[in-house]
Amino acid sequence: MTMGALHVVKPGLLTTVQDLGRWGHQAEGVPVAGPMDVLSHRLANALVGNPPDAATLELTLLGPELIVQADTAIVVCGARFVLRVDDEVVETGVVRSARAGARLRIGRCDGGARGYLAVAGGGILTPAVLGSRATHLPSRMGGVDGRALVSGDVLPIAAQASCRAAHRSAPRTFDRPVTLRVLDGPQAAWFTDEAWQQLTTARYRLSPQSNRMGYRLEGPMLSRRVHDDVMSSPVDMGTMQVPAAGEPILLMADRQTAGGYARIAQVISADLDLAGQLGPGDEVRFARCTMREAAAALIAHERALLAQMPEEARAWQS
C-alpha cells in the first residue's frame, strides 16, 4: 500500500479521529467512544468505498483546513458544512477527487452540529489502540494522542491510484426542536407520574456544559418516588440518568462504562443519530414509545440508510 497523509493547517473547533468504537472492553472499564452520529459516519465511508468501521474525522460546528498529500477521494456527510477543495465548493454528501497538494477548507456548519470527513482507501490510518482508532477524550486514548487535532498534525492515509466515480447522498435536514423517542429505563418506575409528564411534554435545552460524554439538559427537574441508592450498572449511548437533584443527563459517545444514577429512560437506537447532531443551546423533546415501535423504527432507519449507499457498498453493512 502506498501511503500518503493529511496535513492539519487549522484544526477546527473540535476535530477528532473516530471509527465505530472500542467494543469488547467495557468489562475492564474501557469506554467505547466512536462517532456521535453513526449514520453519517457509515454513509460517508460507504460513499468512498470504505468499510463501515474505517476511521473518519468527526467535525464539530467549525471544520479544519487540511492539505492532502496523496491522490484520493473525499466526502463530508452529516451536518451541512461549507467544503472547498482548492477554489471549488463541494456540497455535503458529494464525493470529490482530491489530488496531492489540494487544500481542503471546511467552514461552519448550517444545521446540525457534526460532520464526518471520509477519505478513500481505508480512512484515517492512525495507530489502533485495543483494536480501534476512536478518540476517547476523557481518557486520552486513540486517535492522535487521545486528543482533538491541532495545527501541525499529520494523519496517515492510503494513496489511491485512481479515484472512485462520483457518488452522492441526499442532504439531511435537522429541524429544531428535535424529538427523541425513548423506552423506559431500568428505574423508570422510581419516578413520579409528574416527572414523566414533564419529560414528555416540556422542551429541554442542552447546557453549555454538554460535550461528547453527555448532555446536561436544562428544564423541569424530574422528581422520584423511590430514593434508594442505585448500584453502579452498565450504561449505553442514549441512557438518560437523573442525579438526586433531578436534572437529567443524556449520555453520549464518550460515556463512562457504568453509572450510579437512576436511569429513567433510553433513547431508541433509530434516534441516536439525531441526538448526536445536537449542540449546546439546542432544544429537544422526548416521546415515550414501545419496544415494538422502537424495533420498527430501527428497521426503517437501516433501510433508509442502505437506500443512499452505492450498490457495491451494501454488502459490507450488517
In the chain the domains, ranked by start, together with CATH numbers, are 3-168 (2.60.120), 178-304 (2.40.100.10)
Over 60: is that where the pLDDT of 168 sits?
yes
Distances (CA, A) of 253 to 40, 104, 115, 270: 14, 27, 15, 15
Q: What is the pTM of this model?
A: 0.95
Over 70: is that where the pLDDT of 246 sits?
yes
Over 80: is that where the pLDDT of 283 sits?
yes
Name the percent of the chain lying above pLDDT 90.
Answer: 86
The candidate with the shortest Cα–Cα distance to 73, out of 52, 49, 56, 92, is 49
Over 90: is that where the pLDDT of 194 sits?
yes
